[in-house]
Amino acid sequence: MPCRDLWRVLGRGGAFLIVQQLAYVILVQALRLHLDEGKGVGWLFALSDKHVGAAIHREPARRWTVAALALEVGMSRSGFAARFGQLVGDGPIEYPTRWRMLLAGRGLSRGEPIGAIARSLGYESESAFSTAFKRVMGRTPRHHARLAAVA
């Protein structure tokens, strides 16, 4: 009987929204269970950590040092670096650089000017930004923007 009642509800208006919201709830619960296991590495595990998660995406334009990040979350420099590496799999300086480039890629995909993106992420010049972008992303910002425009 309960299955028949469910199908009756889903056969009415708004069924798509109900199913969509249920899917979100199931996804969030699955992620919570996965994170509670504590046996992973990556940004998702870092975000769930009360120390590392508080610092990981803060102020992407700021030129962070390990000491400044550690101070932000109330940990020692060495303790923060070790915990960050264990949770993220990258160093506390490498990850923010990669995060900046992912933000830049999003801006380039939306057609934002390279110079504006560079300044918003704390780069003094478009040239310095382009060099960092190519090192991290494997292609120039212009090439990335062209690929995004085609897609």
Q: What is the pLDDT of residues 101-140, one digit of tens each?
A: 999 999 999 999 999 999 999 999 999 999 999 999 999 9
CA 71 vs CA 24, 49, 61, 81: distances in Å? 36, 16, 18, 12
Give residue 51's pLDDT band: very low, low, confident or very high (50, 70, 90).
low
Q: Give the tokens for residue 115.
A: 């110079």
Q: What percent of the chain has pLDDT over 70?
A: 79
Residue 1 has pLDDT above 50, yes or no: no
Phi-psi region of 48 (alpha: psi -120 to 50; beta: other; left: phi over 0): alpha
**Which DSSP state fits 90?**
S
Q: How far, in Å, CA of 3 to CA of 9, rounded?
A: 10
Average pLDDT of the segment spanning 40-50: 68
Reply yes or no on whether the pLDDT at 67 is more than 90. Answer: yes
**The tokens of 131 are what?**
């060099």
